[in-house]
Each structure stands twice: as C-alpha cells, then as structure tokens.
Chain A
Amino acid sequence: MRALFDTRGHPALVWIGTALVAIVLAVLPFALASIGTTWVRITNYAILYVLLALGLNIVVGFAGLLDLGYIAFYAVGAYTYALLASPHFDLHLPFWAVLPIGAAVAAFFGVLLGAPTLKLRGDYLAIVTLGFGEIVRIFLNNLSRPVNITNGPQGIARIDPFRIDGLDFSKYETLAGVFFSGPIKYYYLLLLVMLAIIVLNVRLQDSRIGRAWEAIREDEIAARAMGINTRDMKLLAFAMGASFGGVAGGMFSAIQGFISPESFVLVESIMVVSMVVLGGMGNIWGVILGALLLSFVPEILRWTVEPFQRALFGRQLVEPEVIRMLIFGFALVLIMIFRPAGLLPSAVRKRELAASAESRLADVRT
C-alpha cells in the first residue's frame, strides 16, 4: 500500500489518484442510497468499526499490548455522549463539545486501566483487560441504583443527534437541490473523522512516539535501556487508543439515538481484535481493510448464505450469524499459523518474519 504513497518522481499520479479516491468516496453514499439507504447505514457502521480498529491498533499494533476489553472505551464514549446530550439528565450539550469530552473521559479510563498493569506481561495483560471490559459493562448495567446514573439495563433513549445551526443530522432534507437522508449526512461526518484519524495515525507511526512504541513492542528492556520512558509511552498508547474508541462511541450514540449496555459485550471486543489481527497488526491500511472486510462479511453472508441454503436444502441449516462467528474463529487461528503478520503486514513485521530462524529461536520461552 505504501507504494501508492511513494510520491517520488510521480507527483501528478498521486494527485490524480487522490482525486479519484476523493470522488469515489464523495459519490459512494448516493450510489449506495440508490440501492437502499440501508446500505449507507451499513457503511456507516463499518466506518465506526474502522475507527475502533484504528484505535485498538495503536495499543495492539504499535505498542504490542493486547487489549481484550477495548469495547469498554467505546462504551465510555457512548455513555458520556448519551448522558450529556439526552433528556436523561436534561442536558443537551452540542456534539462538538461532547465528543472531545467523551474522548477525554475514555482516555482517562485508558490510563486507569494502563497504570496498574504496566508491569504485566502480554498474556496476563490480555486477561486483565478482558476483566476490565466486563467490569465496566457490569457497572454500566447496574449504576441505576441507589442513584440513577446510567439508567441501567433500560438504556438511554432519545439521545440528541448531531446538530449544526439547525442542520439536524437525523432528518431528511434537501440541500442545494440534492436530497440528503440522515445516514448520508452522518456518512460524510464519519468520513471526515475517519480521514482525520488516519492522517493522525500515519503521522504518529513515523513520529518519535511511534518509534518509541515500536521499540517497546520489540523489546521493552532494550527500549528502556535506550532511554525511552516506557511507562509514559505505554500510558500514552492506552490513552490515545482509548480516546479514539471514545470518539467512535460518541458517534455511535448519536447515530443510534438509543444505547444500552448490551451493545458493549465481550464479543464486540473480540470482533475488533479480529479485525486488527486479520488486517495486519501495526499496519494502518491493513487494519482498515480488516475492519471493512469483517463488517461487510455478515451482510454479504445474509444475502448469499440464506438463499443458497434455502435453494439447496429447502430450509436454513446454519444461520449466517453462526457462519460469521466461525469465519472469525478460523480467521484468527489460520492467520496466526500461516500469516501471523496479517493480510497486509507492516514493514517491520515483514522484516521480523524475514529474519533468520536463528534469531527467532532466541525467543524460545524458557
């Protein structure tokens, strides 16, 4: 993918390429809407997963810290938005104020999780993060008494949509002669946020911070010896990853209009991990690919597997949902065994894999 961005000698090509991509992305929702607005909505959810996968990639891919409770930050962002912009507390802050607050609260939770677990080794950390994710969900589900904060399992309804000066993102309207449905407006907003986060990620990866994370991932002790403040860097990774999750959560709240703790279960965390692993840990484009693939797979299955089974057996034998989960499971196992660096490996991972067997033997656990 990086070849695409190799500007040396071909500036014109790059501009043409960028322009093409921009046009496709701009026209996409209208093309999809002509089939059905449903597809715009599905695309929007896919972009949300891209945001989540990019956030998790910072923690898992860049810094090498496996986080199995990542959905907790999504939940924190979603609930922050819902509490500050809904009739629940009768607060209606504008979205441009709530989203950053959500990101900040999520980042705070990231540090809260990161601080006590700094010393833990990879696999222990994974289990602790899993526990953390469940604890957050249990609290959200039960903080309706003795004082009602989250409204418990009933969830929070009538969450404000995004509004800019009378432009309401949840409403249908015609602007400049073009018909815009709610999902189309959200699509553009999500696209903007996604592009911003991609740019941020690309810049981060090649920055001092990005290289420090990479050093920690490869060998923490060596990284510390080289003068990297591993504690601060790890906390930063947790905080940044969490804040992306928080932003995605806030947008989910606004688009959905109703949230309850059942949207933030363990399976969702595992889904995001699968996206990152499948696409290629540490490679931004790989992760995006993974997220898009795994978000569209269930929809594609729904349109193919069901009619196929009905045609073949006269009834549905295996639900698409089950097939989807089996695909996730097999993807995780097969990728780890045959292509551990993912579909689009990052440059560093490729170097690692190319390294001689001897150096890998040095990693044998004793």
Chain B
Amino acid sequence: MDVFLQQVVNGVTLGAVYAVVALGYTMVYGIIQLINFAHGEVVMIGAMVAFSVISALAPSGLPPLAVVLLGTGFAIPVCMLVGYSMERLAYRPLRRAPRLAPLITAIGISIILQHLALMIWSRNILAFPQILGTTTYFVGGAAITNVQIAIIAICVALMGGLAALVYRTRLGTAMRATAQNPQVAGLMGIDINRVIAATFVIGAALAAVAGVLYGTYYGIAQYTMGSVLGLKAFSAAVLGGIGNIPGAMLGGVLLGVVEALGAGYIGDVSDLCRYGWIAALMDVRCADGGHFILFGSEYQDVFAFLVLILVLVLRPSGLLGERVGERA
C-alpha cells in the first residue's frame, strides 16, 4: 500500500509540472487552433536562464530561497520575450496559411532554440547547485519532500491565478471572445493581434516557472530537455481536452499518475509467470520464482504516446473538451 501511495505522490508531483506546461499549449490552441510545437523549448530556456542566475548567486550568501526566486524572476521575462518573438516572427505571418505551415515553422523554431541554447549553455548536462536543502516527510509510508510540496502548491496557485485571469479580467474576456470567433471579436473592437500575443506571453511565463520547478526538482538541465517534456505536456493537454484550461490541469495530473503507476506496475502485471495457465500454455520456464516479463519499465515513455494516440483516435475532444466538428 505504501508503494501505491508513494507512486501516486510521485505521479502528482510530475503531473503538476506537466499541467503547468500543458496550460501553455492549451491556451494557444484554444485561441488560434495552433499547436505551438516549440513550447517545450521555452520551458528549457526558462530552466537554463534560472540555472545561470542561480549558479552565479549561489556563492553570494543570499538566502537560498531568495536566490531561487531571483532565478525565476530572470527566467520569466526572458521566456516572455522568447514567446512574444516567436509569435511575432514565425506564427503571425502564417495566420492565414494552410494549417501545416505553422506546424513546420514550429519545428524549425524548436530546432533553432535548442541549438542556440546549446551554443550558450553547452551540450553538457548542467547540475543545478543544490542549495535548497531537502527535508523528507513520511506520510503513511510515502516519502514526500519539502520541494515536492512546494511544487504542488505553486502549480495549484498558478492554475488558480490563470483561471481568475481568463474568467475574471477584461483581457480574459477578450481572449475568450477571440477564441470563439476572431472576426466578430475584431469587429467588437478587440485588438486580436494583441490578445494573441498576450496569450503567447502568458503561456511563456508559465513555461518559465515550470522550467525552474523542473530544474530545481531534478537538479539538472540540458538543452534537449524541452522536447520530451513538451510532448508529454501536449499529450496531457490533449487528454484533458485541448483548448480547455481545467482540462489541461486534469490531463497533466492524470498523465503524471498514469506514468508513475505504469512504470511501477507494468512489469508485475505483464509477468506471464503470475498467470500459471498462460505460462504453461507458452511453455515458459517460471520455476524457482523466475519471471517472464513481457513489458517492463523500459516502456515508461510509451504511455504518454499511447494516451495521446488513444485519445485522438477514440475521443478527439478529450475528457473535458466539448465535441468539435471533425474538420473545424
């Protein structure tokens, strides 16, 4: 039981980070139906900038928390700038082009950002200075660290803040109007270009925070970290229903838990030796506590993709998304 509980704790922590990244995908998709493929790279840039600031300040004797906050404080504007330029230079000129065009530029942007980061921060794995002392608490047999608790709390606060922004402010109203019908929103006096740019910038700020959280939690950053993280967060957004903000949060946490439980249990579940009759049928040697594991933890990374494919094929609107026309 404590193993199960621990896996859920692991999954929720990871899922909270996925959720924050997924918000960036879902906001942009909701407003202009664009998959911002390069969003994961913004997360990476956030982690890298924070790394530079934190390693520069770590020996300064400032309190560790202040150092991390300063790192985040630098990462956010840099990422906002990256997000804004991305929209302005690579996506806005293509707003009327066929659907595949912005996807291809997004791949291009993602390659460019990765290799610029490589040139600045090198190819090596960067080790975040271990300045935040970790304290481990045991709750019902499950270990949870102060960093994990902070990550979950920050993610919940960010999601709450974003929901308030979208549903309670003028900008949020404009964003929702643009999402529903850009032409009409434009006619109503909304500056669509500004609203779209604002969406990118907010998404990028969230990505920066996610990057810092990820970096401090795992203690490492590398120029390639964005692509896998981005893909998983995108899967989370699709799972929750892309374009739907509560959906992204739900999808993120669910995907994190699915991954943790999947990696933790798939080996036991697919061990043919647990099923006597199959083992007998297939003439597998199980004697003496042997194992015949079809799929082990090596298939951990397959889950996100499987979830993605299954959701898109079976229920393209995701868990919380409303049904949209096939060729919207």
Please determine if A and B sit in direct contact within the complex, based on CB atoms under 8 angstroms apart. Answer: yes
B-side contacts of A273, CB under 8 Å: 104, 107
CA separation between A218 and B312, bound complex, in Å? 23
User: Judging by beta carbons under 8 Å apart, are A318 and B108 in contact?
Assistant: no
A-side contacts of B110, CB under 8 Å: 329
Flag the segment in B53-61, B93-101, B155-163 that touches A. Answer: B93-101
User: Judging by beta carbons under 8 Å apart, are A363 and B298 in contact?
Assistant: no
Do A123 and B103 form a contact, CB below 8 Å, given A135-B302, A326-B115?
Answer: yes
User: Judging by beta carbons under 8 Å apart, are A329 and B309 in contact?
Assistant: no
Q: Mark A125-157, 1 if CB is under 8 A from B, else 0.
A: 011101110110010011001100000000000
Do A329 and B112 form a contact, CB below 8 Å, given A117-B313, A120-B316, A318-B119?
Answer: yes
A-side contacts of B109, CB under 8 Å: 329, 333
User: Judging by beta carbons under 8 Å apart, are A363 and B98 in contact?
Assistant: yes
Chain B nearest CB from A112 CB (Å) reads 12
User: Judging by beta carbons under 8 Å apart, are B94 and A336 in contact?
Assistant: yes
A-side contacts of B52, CB under 8 Å: none
User: Judging by beta carbons under 8 Å apart, are A363 and B96 in contact?
Assistant: yes
A-side contacts of B280, CB under 8 Å: none
Q: Mark B301-324, 1 if CB is under 8 A from A, else 0.
A: 110111011001100100000000
User: Judging by beta carbons under 8 Å apart, are B107 and A128 in contact?
Assistant: no
Chain A stretch 41-92: residues in CB contact (< 8 A) with chain B:
64, 66, 68
B-side contacts of A128, CB under 8 Å: 308-309, 312-313
CA separation between A331 and B108, bound complex, in Å? 7
**Interface status of A116 (Cβ within 8 A of chain B):** yes
**Interface status of B150 (Cβ within 8 A of chain A):** no
User: Judging by beta carbons under 8 Å apart, are B104 and A277 in contact?
Assistant: yes
A-side contacts of B105, CB under 8 Å: 332-333, 336-337
User: Judging by beta carbons under 8 Å apart, are B107 and A138 in contact?
Assistant: no
B-side contacts of A325, CB under 8 Å: 111, 114-115
Chain A nearest CB from B280 CB (Å) reads 16
CA separation between A64 and B234, bound complex, in Å? 23
User: Judging by beta carbons under 8 Å apart, are B100 and A328 in contact?
Assistant: no
**Interface status of A270 (Cβ within 8 A of chain B):** yes
User: Judging by beta carbons under 8 Å apart, are A270 and B101 in contact?
Assistant: no
Q: Mark A174-218, 1 if CB is under 8 A from B, else 0.
A: 000000000000000000000000000000000000000000000
B-side contacts of A277, CB under 8 Å: 104
User: Judging by beta carbons under 8 Å apart, are A270 and B99 in contact?
Assistant: no
Interface residues on B, range: 35 or more
CA separation between A146 and B284, bound complex, in Å? 10
Question: Contact partner of A122 among B99, B116, B183, CB < 8 A?
Answer: B99
**Interface status of B118 (Cβ within 8 A of chain A):** yes
A-side contacts of B101, CB under 8 Å: 336, 340
User: Judging by beta carbons under 8 Å apart, are A122 and B107 in contact?
Assistant: no
Number of A interface residues, CB 8 Å? 49
User: Judging by beta carbons under 8 Å apart, are B309 and A131 in contact?
Assistant: yes
User: Judging by beta carbons under 8 Å apart, are B33 and A365 in contact?
Assistant: yes
Chain A nearest CB from B77 CB (Å) reads 23
CA separation between A127 and B293, bound complex, in Å? 30
**Interface status of B231 (Cβ within 8 A of chain A):** yes
Chain A nearest CB from B185 CB (Å) reads 11
Q: Mark B229-267, 1 if CB is under 8 A from A, else 0.
A: 001001100000000000000000000000000000000
**Interface status of A34 (Cβ within 8 A of chain B):** no
**Interface status of A121 (Cβ within 8 A of chain B):** yes
CA separation between A22 and B36, bound complex, in Å? 46
**Interface status of B181 (Cβ within 8 A of chain A):** yes
B-side contacts of A123, CB under 8 Å: 34-35, 99-100, 103
**Interface status of A356 (Cβ within 8 A of chain B):** no
Chain A nearest CB from B205 CB (Å) reads 23
Residue of B nearest to A115 (CB): B313
B-side contacts of A366, CB under 8 Å: 181-183, 328
User: Judging by beta carbons under 8 Å apart, are A134 and B305 in contact?
Assistant: yes
CA separation between A127 and B35, bound complex, in Å? 9
CA separation between A337 and B308, bound complex, in Å? 29
Q: Mark A326-346, 1 if CB is under 8 A from B, else 0.
A: 101111110011001000000
* Residue among B34, B111, B112 facing the most chain A CB atoms (10 A cut-off): B111
Residue of B nearest to A60 (CB): B100
User: Judging by beta carbons under 8 Å apart, are A333 and B90 in contact?
Assistant: yes
Chain B nearest CB from A148 CB (Å) reads 13
Question: Contact partner of A124 among B118, B301, B304, B316, CB < 8 A?
Answer: B316
Chain A nearest CB from B135 CB (Å) reads 36
Chain B nearest CB from A226 CB (Å) reads 17
- 7 A-B pairs with C-beta separation under 8 A: A66-B103, A127-B231, A132-B309, A142-B296, A333-B112, A337-B105, A365-B33
**Supplied contacts A64-B100, A135-B306, A273-B104, 11 more A-B pairs, CB within 8 Å:** A66-B104, A123-B34, A127-B234, A130-B231, A138-B302, A142-B299, A266-B227, A322-B119, A332-B104, A332-B107, A366-B182
